[in-house]
Structures are given as structure tokens and as C-alpha cells.
Amino acid sequence: MKGTGRPGLDEYFLKIASVVAERSTCLRHRVGAVAVRDKHILATGYNGAAAGVKDCLELGCLRDEMNIESGTRHEICRAIHAEQNVIIQAALHGVSLEGATVYVTHSPCVLCAKMLVNARIKRFVTYGSYADESFKDLFQQVGIEFELHKSPPSHISYLP
């Protein structure tokens, strides 16, 4: 936050990603994503089961039941990742993510990183680290900027 009490753009959009994460149906990690271009939100996404399918809040976590550690065996999960959902939501509404910045509460798994590369984003900003860091080499190869920020404040300030 700058001296005026007004958050900078990165903090602002990271805070929005945190609110988006509140919609998650994952019992392990609540992840939110916001795709932005020219200071405008293009799409949002959070991690959870496919639309119309029972989720982990109802059925419990398969990964916990099977003692699968974070960052591995992505196929054994009901959830679609937040980054995948932000790409899907953009596509459903006919919005290109080319040149966008994607703000996410966690760094991406390598599968999501590959999808973000093909969506042609230019920047990925987060404040949380996921167990899988293999995305870093991929982002570097294609020139996607990666920034790890500190967690934005959880309070929202209003004028009196």
C-alpha cells in the first residue's frame, strides 16, 4: 500500500483473487485467479469440481483419503484448478487472454503453466507458493514474467 492508503494495482488484483478463492470447493487449498489486461478484469476462476458435479465439500477429499501429497498425482482430484477455470471462463465469453496478467493466490502446477503459455499470457503474479515449481523453467523459456509478492492485507479499508 502506498502512503495514500490506496493499494497499488498488483495488491488490488491479488486481493480480488483472494476473494475469488472464497468460492473454492477444495478442502486442501482455496485458490483464486483473476485475468487482467489494461486494468480491466477479463475473467475469474477458482478451484472446484466441474459444474453440476458433486464436490469435495459434499463428498470429502479423494487426495486426503488416499494420502496423496500436494503437487503430485493431479489426476486424482475432483477439482479443476483456478488457472484452468480462468482460461475456460474467458473462452466461454469469447475473451482472449493474450497479453494478460494473471493474478493467482498460489503459483501454478506445471499443467496449468502449460495452459497459460498457450493462452499467451505475459505475466503471472502470486503471493503463495505451490509444491510444484517446475513451471519456472517453462515460464522463463517463453518469456512469461513471474512475480512473487507478499500476501495482501486481508482487511478492506473504507472511507468514513
- DSSP letter, residue 72: S
- What is the Cα–Cα distance from 13 to 116, expressed in whole angstroms? 18
Torsion sign (Cα): 50, 45, 151, 72: positive
- Tell me which of 83, 98, 133, 145 is the catalytic residue: 83
Q: Confirm whether 133 is a catalytic residue.
A: no
Where helices occur in 22-121 by DSSP H, the ranges are 56-59, 62-65, 82-92, 110-118
Could you give the residue numbers annotated as active site?
A: 83
